[in-house]
Amino acid sequence: MTDPEEHEPVSRPLASGEVGLVAPQDFTCPGPFTFKSGQVLPGFTLRYETYGQLNAARDNAILVCHALSGDHHCAGVHAADDRKPGWWNNLIGPGKAVDTRRFFVVCANVLGGCVGSSGPSSVNPETGRPYGISFPFVTILDMVRAQKLLLDHLGVTALHATLGGSMGGMQALLFAIEFPAYTRRVLAMATTARESAQAIAFNEVGRQAIMQDPDWNHGDYPKGGGPRVGLAIARMMAHITYVSDASMDRKFGRRKKTTADGESYTFDVQFEVEGYLRHQGQTFINRFDANSYLYITRALDQFDLAHAYGSLAAAFAPVQAESLVVGFTSDWLFPPEQNRQIALALLRAGKRASYAELATDLGHDSFLLESEELYTLIRGFLERSHTPAVDFSI
Amino acid sequence: MTDPEEHEPVSRPLASGEVGLVAPQDFTCPGPFTFKSGQVLPGFTLRYETYGQLNAARDNAILVCHALSGDHHCAGVHAADDRKPGWWNNLIGPGKAVDTRRFFVVCANVLGGCVGSSGPSSVNPETGRPYGISFPFVTILDMVRAQKLLLDHLGVTALHATLGGSMGGMQALLFAIEFPAYTRRVLAMATTARESAQAIAFNEVGRQAIMQDPDWNHGDYPKGGGPRVGLAIARMMAHITYVSDASMDRKFGRRKKTTADGESYTFDVQFEVEGYLRHQGQTFINRFDANSYLYITRALDQFDLAHAYGSLAAAFAPVQAESLVVGFTSDWLFPPEQNRQIALALLRAGKRASYAELATDLGHDSFLLESEELYTLIRGFLERSHTPAVDFSI
C-alpha cells in the first residue's frame, strides 16, 4: 500500500474549477497475473491519472472507466499550453459534477490498451518485440481485476463509486459484482449486459478490415506501423454507430465541399460528412494500435453477464452498491432498452437501482457530451448519502 | 422499334405459376449517349430479361428497377437445374402479384452495373482494357434514360407501371418525372427522395474500403481481380444496414460457432453472425465489380430530387402517374419517414398518391422478402383500373 500523497497529481489551477496540470503515472504490478483465459503474464503496467485527494478513511475514490477508444487522461491538461483537456474534463474538476474537492478520482488505461498500459503493442521482454497477438486475450473481467490491483496499490479501501459509459459501464457493473463490499455506487451509462448481434457484427467488420489489411501481418508489425488503412476503415464505420442519423443530418446534412454547382463528378470528398469521417479515421490511426482494437472489441463482444454467471439475477445477486443506469433515447448501439433491462434486473434482485432515460438526439456518444441534465443526475447520485445495506434477518 | 415477339423469353413452365426458363438478352444502343455529367459514350449495352407478352396496344409493360447489388435476372431460372431463381421470383410470374399472364415485365441491369450492362468493367474499345474509372459518371437519371431507350427498342408505347425498391424506387420515381405521359403507375418501396448524411456516410466507408485497398490501383485492375478485400468489407458493412437489429438477433443472437465452453480465445469466427457476414462478403466479391460499387453508391448519394428540380413540389409537378409508396417500419437505411415524405409531396402537388407503411422487423430488405401483405398491396395497385388525369380547366 502506497502513501496516497505519492500519487497526488502535480496540479496548479489553470482556471477556477479546472483540474489543471496533471501527469500520468504508471503502476507496475509485479504479477504474475492470470487472465480469465488461463494465460499468464509475469506482470503488467497500468497508466493512470488521479485528481483530488484520497481522504483519511481512504474511501472517497471514484474509479472512472473508459470506453473502447478512451484512455486514462479524462481530466486536466498535460501542459499549460495544452489546448485539449482530458476527455471528460467538463464533468470532472473542483466544483464540477464529479467534484475533485470531495472525491479522489482515478482513471486508468485498460489492460490490453495502447496508451501506456500493457497490451499487444507492449514489448515482450522475452523477444524484445511487441507481443502482437501473442498477448493474452483480455476480457472486461481482466480489465476490472487489474484496476482493483491499482486501487489496492493506491490505498483505496472502498470505492465511493465506479463510473463509466459504454465499455466503461460494463466495467463499472462488473466492479460491483466482483468486489461487492468494496463498491458502494455504480453509475453505468449507454451500456449493455451483452451486445446484440448487430453490435457484434459492426465490431466484426472492423476486425476484418484490420486483419485483411496486408500490413496487419498476423498482428506482427513494428510500433507505429501496421494496418493503418484497415484501422481507419474500422474507425470510420464505428464512428457512424456512435452518433445518430439526426445528429449527422444536423451537423452535415447533404452539404457539399465543392463550391461550384455541387455536382462534381469525382470519388474525392464531395459531402462534408465524407471529409469528417476520413478525418476521424486518420486521426485515430495516429493514436491507437490496431491489435488493441482487435483485443478490446473482442472483450466487448464476449461480455455477457447472464452467460458468465448463469443469469442476470445470479450476476447481480452479490451486489451491495446502489446503482444508477442511464440510457439515451438516440443510442442505437446500446439502446435504452438494454440499459433499462440492467436496472430492472438489479431491482428484481432486490438492489437499490434506478434507471434514467435522457432524451437526446446525439446517439451513443451522448454520455461523453456536456449536458446539464446528465451532470445534475450524476452529481445527485454521487453526493447523496449512502444507505448501507441493512440485514433484516435475525 | 422492334417486334416484341423477338423479345419473347424462351420459356417453358417448370412448375405452375413459374416464369420458367429465361435467357438474358442484350440491347445495344448505338449512341452516342450523353451522361448528365456531360461525358459521352459512343454507345452502350443493357442486359435485360422480359417475362410475359407485350399486348397489341404495347402498353402493358412493367419496368422492374433493381437496387444497388441487384441485376436484370429478377424472375425465372437460367437452366432447368438452376436452383436459384431470379431475385424477385416470388413476386413475378403467371398468377403472381406481378402477373406475367397480364403484364410484359422488363428488367435491365443498370447502366454502370457489372452484370452485362455497360459499366466500368466493360472494355473500352479505344484501349482494349476495362474503362475503370474513366467510365463516365453515372446518375440515377442516366440509368433511367438508358432504360427508356431499351423500352423504345422493345416497342413499349406506355408503361403500365415502374416498380422498384431502394435504388429501384428512385428510378421508378424518376421515370414518372422525366417521362410523365409514358408512365402510368409508380410503385416505389423502401426508398428516399434523398439520402440522409448517415446513408452517405455508410456508402463512403464502403468506398474508402475499396479505394484504400492497394489492389484497387486507381480503378485499373483486370476483370475478376481488383480490391477483393475492400469490396468484401464494404459489403459486410452494408449488409448490416440492410437488415435490422431485431432480425439479426432472431437469426443469430449471440450463438457461437464453437462447441466447447463458448469462450474460445481467438480472432477466428466465434459468433454465428460473424461467419454469416464473412460469407456475405466472400460471395459478393465473386459477382460484383468494385468500380461498379463506387459508381452506383455515388449515384445513390447524388440523387436528390429537391436539389435537382428546385423543390420536391417542382420535381413532382409534371407527374401524371398514380403512385404508391411503401415504407417499412424497421428500415433504418431509408426509414418510413423518408418514404412518407415522398407520398406527401406527391399529394401536395395534386397527384394520386398513397403511402402504405408495413410493420416488419426485417429492415430495409423487407421489400425483397416474400410477404402476403406486401404482395396483396402490389397486386391491388397494379390491377386496379387506371384513372386518366382529367383537365378541369376550360
CATH number for the domain harbouring residue B238: 1.10.1740.110
Selected catalytic residue, list A71, A331, A365, A366:
A331
- Assess whether B115 and B229 both reside in one domain: no
- Which pLDDT score is estimated for B258? 65
Assigned domain for A388 exists = no
Contacts of B270 in chain A (CB under 8 A): 301
Using a 10 angstrom Cβ sphere, with 0-12 exposed, 13-18 middle and 19 or more buried, the burial of residue A281 is buried
- Assess whether A205 and A339 both reside in one domain: no
For residue range A229-243, what is the model confidence (pLDDT) as tens digits? 999 999 999 999 999
User: Taking CB atoms and an 8 Å limit, are A212 and B195 in contact across chains?
Assistant: no
For residue range A30-78, what is the model confidence (pLDDT) as tens digits? 979 999 999 999 999 999 999 999 999 999 999 999 999 999 999 999 9
Count of domains observed in chain B? 2
Selected catalytic residue, list A69, A117, A121, A166:
A166
For residue range B318-330, what is the model confidence (pLDDT) as tens digits? 999 999 999 999 9
* Mean pLDDT, rounded, for A344-362: 97
Residue B261 has pLDDT above 80, yes or no: no
Nearest residue to B137 via CA among B34, B17, B282: B34
| Cβ(B104)–Cβ(B4) below 8 Å | yes
User: Distance (Å, rounded) from C-alpha A383 to C-alpha B7?
Assistant: 79
Q: Which value does ipTM take for this structure? A: 0.91
Q: Can you state the percent helix, strand and coil of chain B, rounding each to 5?
A: 35, 15, 45
What count of other Cβ atoms lies within 10 Å of the Cβ of residue A25? 19
| Cβ(A290)–Cβ(A230) below 8 Å | yes
Residue B302 has pLDDT above 80, yes or no: yes
- Assess whether B360 and B232 both reside in one domain: no
User: Taking CB atoms and an 8 Å limit, are A212 and B233 in contact across chains?
Assistant: yes
- Which pLDDT score is estimated for B386? 58
User: Taking CB atoms and an 8 Å limit, are B298 and A267 in contact across chains?
Assistant: yes
Print the domain residue range for A112: 4-196+304-383
pLDDT band at B208 (very low <50, low <70, confident <90, very high): very high
Assigned domain for B277 exists = yes
Query: Is A331 one of the annotated active-site residues of the chain?
Result: yes
- Mutation pick from A274, A276, A282 vs chain B, by most beta carbons of B within 10 Å, is A274
User: Distance (Å, rounded) from C-alpha B2 to C-alpha A171?
Assistant: 70
User: Taking CB atoms and an 8 Å limit, are B254 and A304 in contact across chains?
Assistant: yes
- Which pLDDT score is estimated for A88? 98
- Assess whether A9 and A155 both reside in one domain: yes
For residue range A74-122, what is the model confidence (pLDDT) as tens digits? 999 999 999 999 999 999 999 999 999 999 999 999 999 999 999 999 9
Contacts of B301 in chain A (CB under 8 A): 270-271
- Assess whether A162 and A216 both reside in one domain: no
| DSSP for residue B84 | S
Residue count of chain B: 394
- Assess whether B106 and B138 both reside in one domain: yes
- Which pLDDT score is estimated for B1? 35
- Which pLDDT score is estimated for B195? 97
Q: Find cell 380547366 and name the residue.
A: B393
CA atoms within 13 Å, Cβ hemisphere of B11:
25
For residue range A195-240, what is the model confidence (pLDDT) as tens digits? 999 999 999 999 999 999 999 999 999 987 899 999 999 999 999 9
User: Taking CB atoms and an 8 Å limit, are B254 and A207 in contact across chains?
Assistant: no
Provide the shortest C-alpha distance from residue B160 to chain A (in Å): 33
User: Distance (Å, rounded) from C-alpha B260 to C-alpha B255?
Assistant: 12
| Cβ(A116)–Cβ(A122) below 8 Å | no
Assigned domain for A390 exists = no
- Assess whether A257 and A187 both reside in one domain: no
Assigned domain for B393 exists = no
User: Taking CB atoms and an 8 Å limit, are B197 and A252 in contact across chains?
Assistant: yes
- Mutation pick from B134, B208, B220, B285 vs chain A, by most beta carbons of A within 10 Å, is B208
Assigned domain for A393 exists = no
User: Distance (Å, rounded) from C-alpha A20 to C-alpha A14?
Assistant: 5
For residue range B122-132, what is the model confidence (pLDDT) as tens digits? 999 999 999 99
Contacts of A137 in chain B (CB under 8 A): 265
Assigned domain for B291 exists = yes
- Which pLDDT score is estimated for B11? 45
- Assess whether B268 and B375 both reside in one domain: no
Contacts of B335 in chain A (CB under 8 A): 245
- Which pLDDT score is estimated for A391? 57
Contacts of B253 in chain A (CB under 8 A): 197
What residues of B are labeled active site?
166, 331, 364
For residue B120, the domain's CATH number is 3.40.50.1820
Assigned domain for B329 exists = yes
* Mean pLDDT, rounded, for A124-146: 96
- Which pLDDT score is estimated for B299? 97
- Assess whether A77 and A153 both reside in one domain: yes
- Assess whether A141 and A59 both reside in one domain: yes
Assigned domain for A389 exists = no
- Assess whether B13 and B64 both reside in one domain: yes
- Which pLDDT score is estimated for B8? 40
Query: Is A364 one of the annotated active-site residues of the chain?
Result: yes
User: Taking CB atoms and an 8 Å limit, are A204 and B274 in contact across chains?
Assistant: yes
- Assess whether A156 and A280 both reside in one domain: no
Contacts of B204 in chain A (CB under 8 A): 236, 271, 273-274, 277-278
Last residue of a domain, one of A297, A330, A357: A297
pLDDT band at B259 (very low <50, low <70, confident <90, very high): low
CA atoms within 13 Å, Cβ hemisphere of A345:
21
Provide the shortest C-alpha distance from residue A342 to chain B (in Å): 18
User: Taking CB atoms and an 8 Å limit, are A236 and B304 in contact across chains?
Assistant: no
Last residue of a domain, one of A297, A314, A334: A297
Selected catalytic residue, list A69, A323, A364, A366:
A364
Which residue in B has a C-alpha nearest to residue A256's C-alpha? Answer: B302
Last residue of a domain, one of B249, B268, B297: B297
Contacts of A236 in chain B (CB under 8 A): 201, 204-205, 208
**Which residue from A39, A204, A248 is facing B201, i.e. has the nearest CB?**
A248
